[in-house]
């Protein structure tokens, strides 16, 4: 019996170290830890750099072991590279998911030969006295500046763009909108010794597409400058200090380009209240991470436009004029209507209905269709209805009823029919029609066409009068659209519309309208 107890004790003493060793052998370094090295930081895989660069290597170690471990990480650089701190780091991890990381800065001398260099990090993991070694190696390619410049390409900046870098079709291309304070308000504030307390900055974005055509992962930093075209100096109003920080710390993007990839990025553009309208030079700069060397610079001319006070004042005056005309009509409706015979009112209503059926209704469909087909030149097509046909009806109606107020009633019929049938009771329709009516009434009355009933057959004179009236109305219409709907039109587009649609088409319509009116007059008589 004693012999059996003695043998059992020996067996326990033999098996206990074996069990402890088996428990230690359950720790598998590759499965129970994560050890990562990135050179430079953020680059997964082989990186790229040029001489005279300062880079940061990223070391990360995480434990999945439920227990204590002591770790020693040794960072090994190629010969010639200059490490800015100690190459060996020791730390302890106490439990599962405990981790450690460090950014290790080093310098690559300018005379470093081009080539591929191996960078190694070795971690020695001590678990319960047993040491395990994990080695990670990555490659860093030292390239020449010419080689890097050939591998990275940048598209022309898209200004303005949305937050994702895509173009914004609601704003003119290569244009920044500067929201200046009214000059009159500035003078008033100066007189009263007051100041505008406005900290918010107007901002927009620019889109830039960057492409890597090489075989290495390239980390780059993209930023920009806005320069004076004459002096070449930085215009601080477009990159002002923000909350005490230099705008350069905010207006940049760090991008890691994989081999053969491209990326569309967006950069914010901040505009201070001191920014002035004019032409500027936008310079986009691409630098390799860790280096101040500019690999690519892309220049593009941009224009900063300020708030146009002309359209604002025009819209305000036109609105006031329309409301005054409406108030005048509502205050004296009987006196105005009594000046016309019943058959005159019937004829005005008939012409107004014809204009609505022949112009307004077709244009509800043709307007969008013409824009899709002709683009910015659609006004050449729509003008056939909105100007030639319309002024044929207006001129013939004036020939038939040469009295003040006939055009206003004609416009009112169009406005009411359009509002009730197509739902076009909009401020823009009211303002443009009322201004058109008032200007036409005023010019024709002053010229004696509706006042003294003279020169009704003078097509040239009537064409000139109606042409000038419609040119003014067209400018008012553009102003109202720009102010109320925040739209922007190119100067050439406005000028072409005013000259061709506003004058030429109107002149042609008036010319034929007088002939039509004379024929209708003979039929009526």
**Domain harbouring 248, CATH code:** 2.60.40.3880
Residue 15 in any domain: the answer is no
| 455, pLDDT greater than 70 | no
Residues 264 and 324 in one domain: no
**Tens digits of residue pLDDT in 474-490:** 999 999 888 887 777 87
At which of 267, 289, 306 does a domain end?
306
The band of 345, judged by pLDDT with boundaries at 50, 70 and 90, is very high
Average pLDDT over residues 321-345: 89
The band of 193, judged by pLDDT with boundaries at 50, 70 and 90, is low
The band of 346, judged by pLDDT with boundaries at 50, 70 and 90, is very high
Higher local confidence (pLDDT), 366 or 120: 120
CA contacts within 13 A on the Cβ side of 28: 3
| 258, pLDDT greater than 70 | yes
The band of 19, judged by pLDDT with boundaries at 50, 70 and 90, is very low
| 26, pLDDT greater than 80 | no
- Collapsed DSSP state (helix, strand, coil) of residue 456: coil
Residues 188, 190, 191, 192, CA torsion sign: positive
Residue 135 in any domain: the answer is yes
Closest among 127, 132, 198, 210 to 165, alpha carbons compared = 210
Average pLDDT over residues 345-357: 92
At which of 274, 306, 338 does a domain end?
306
**Tens digits of residue pLDDT in 355-389:** 999 988 888 888 888 888 888 888 888 888 889 99
Residue 20 in any domain: the answer is no
Return the top range by mean pLDDT from 55-59, 237-241, 456-460. 55-59
Position 14 scores a pLDDT of: 54
Radius of gyration of the chain (CA): 39
**Tens digits of residue pLDDT in 197-245:** 444 565 788 999 999 988 888 889 999 999 998 888 888 888 777 666 6
At which of 83, 110, 143 does a domain end?
143
Structure tokens of 387? 């100007």
Helices and strands counted in the chain (H then E): 15, 18
Average pLDDT over residues 324-336: 88
Residues 221 and 357 in one domain: no
Residue 9 in any domain: the answer is no
Residue 181 in any domain: the answer is yes
Residues 414 and 454 in one domain: yes
| 118, pLDDT greater than 90 | yes
Residues 447 and 502 in one domain: yes
Average pLDDT over residues 74-97: 90
Average pLDDT over residues 320-325: 92
Percentage of residues of the chain with pLDDT beyond 90: 38
**Tens digits of residue pLDDT in 283-299:** 999 998 888 889 999 99
Position 389 scores a pLDDT of: 92
Residues 343 and 487 in one domain: yes
Residue 313 in any domain: the answer is yes
Residues 388 and 420 in one domain: yes
Sheet with 115-127, strands from edge to edge, namely: 47-49, 130-142, 115-127, 69-76, 88-93
Residues 292 and 321 in one domain: no
The band of 311, judged by pLDDT with boundaries at 50, 70 and 90, is confident
Position 8 scores a pLDDT of: 55
Average pLDDT over residues 308-313: 81
CATH at 62:
2.60.40.10
Residues 192 and 293 in one domain: yes
Residue 3 in any domain: the answer is no
As for how many domains the chain has, the answer is 3
Average pLDDT over residues 153-163: 88
**Domain that includes residue 209, residue range:** 148-306
Position 200 scores a pLDDT of: 53
Higher local confidence (pLDDT), 342 or 239: 342
Give CA separation, 269 vs 177, 230, 431, in Å.
11, 21, 36
Average pLDDT over residues 104-133: 92
Give the Cα separation of 506 and 387 in Å (integer): 5
Residues 242 and 329 in one domain: no
Residues 486 and 346 in one domain: yes
Return the top range by mean pLDDT from 201-205, 306-310, 450-454, 508-512. 508-512
CA contacts within 13 A on the Cβ side of 319: 14
Residues 235 and 266 in one domain: yes
| 333, pLDDT greater than 90 | no
Residue 1 in any domain: the answer is no
Give the Cα separation of 170 and 488 in Å (integer): 8
Give the Cα separation of 261 and 257 in Å (integer): 6
Closest among 301, 242, 271 to 179, alpha carbons compared = 271
Residues 452 and 342 in one domain: yes
Position 199 scores a pLDDT of: 46
If 0-12 CB within 10 Å is exposed, 13-18 middle and 19+ buried, where does residue 111 land? exposed
């Amino acid at each position: 019996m004693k012999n059996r107890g003695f043998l059992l004790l020996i067996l326990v003493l033999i098996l206990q170290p074996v069990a402890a060793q088996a428990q230690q052998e359950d720790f598998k370094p590759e499965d129970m830890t994560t050890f990562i090295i990135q050179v430079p930081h953020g680059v997964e895989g082989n990186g790229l750099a040029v001489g005279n660069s300062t880079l940061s290597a990223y070391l990360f170690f995480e434990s999945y072991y439920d227990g204590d471990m002591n770790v020693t990480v040794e960072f090994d650089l190629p010969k010639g590279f200059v490490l800015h701190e100690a190459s060996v780091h020791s730390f302890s991890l106490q439990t599962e998911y405990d981790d450690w990381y460090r950014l290790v800065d080093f310098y690559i001398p300018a005379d470093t030969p081009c080539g591929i260099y191996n960078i190694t990090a070795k971690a020695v993991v001590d678990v319960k006295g047993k040491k395990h070694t994990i080695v990670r190696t990555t490659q860093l390619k030292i390239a020449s500046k010419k080689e890097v410049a050939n591998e990275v390409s940048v598209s022309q900046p898209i200004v303005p763009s949305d937050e994702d870098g895509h173009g914004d079709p609601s704003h003119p291309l290569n244009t920044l909108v500067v929201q200046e304070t009214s000059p009159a308000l500035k003078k008033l504030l100066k007189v009263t010794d007051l100041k505008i307390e406005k900290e918010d900055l107007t901002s927009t974005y620019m889109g830039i597409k960057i492409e890597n055509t090489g075989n290495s992962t390239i980390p780059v930093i993209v930023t920009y400058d806005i320069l004076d075209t004459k002096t070449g100096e930085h215009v601080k109003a477009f990159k002002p200090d923000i909350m005490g920080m230099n705008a350069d710390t905010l207006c940049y993007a760090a991008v890691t380009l994989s081999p053969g990839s491209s990326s569309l990025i967006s950069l914010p553009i901040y505009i201070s209240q001191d920014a002035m309208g004019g032409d500027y030079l936008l310079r986009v700069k691409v630098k390799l991470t860790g280096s101040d060397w500019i690999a690519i610079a892309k220049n593009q001319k941009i224009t900063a436009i300020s708030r146009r006070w002309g359209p604002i004042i025009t819209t305000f005056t036109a609105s006031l004029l329309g409301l005054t005309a409406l108030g005048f009509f509502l205050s004296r409706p009987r006196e105005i209507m009594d000046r016309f015979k019943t058959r005159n009112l019937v004829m005005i209503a008939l012409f107004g209905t014809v204009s609505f059926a022949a112009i307004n209704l077709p244009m509800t469909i043709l307007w969008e269709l013409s824009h899709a087909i002709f683009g910015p030149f659609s006004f050449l097509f729509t003008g056939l209805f909105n100007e030639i046909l319309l002024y044929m009806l207006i001129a013939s109606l004036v020939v038939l009823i040469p009295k003040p107020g006939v055009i206003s009633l004609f416009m009112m019929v169009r406005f009411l029919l359009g509002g009730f049938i197509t739902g076009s009771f909009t401020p823009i329709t009211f303002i443009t029609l009322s201004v058109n009516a008032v200007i036409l009434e005023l010019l024709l009355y002053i010229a004696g066409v509706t006042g003294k009933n003279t020169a009704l057959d003078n097509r040239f004179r009537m064409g000139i009068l109606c042409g000038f009236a419609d040119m003014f109305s067209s400018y008012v219409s553009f102003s109202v659209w720009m102010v109320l709907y925040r739209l922007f039109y190119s100067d050439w587009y406005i000028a072409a519309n005013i000259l061709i649609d506003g004058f030429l088409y109107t002149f042609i319509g008036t010319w034929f309208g007088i002939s039509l009116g004379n024929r209708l007059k003979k039929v009526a008589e």
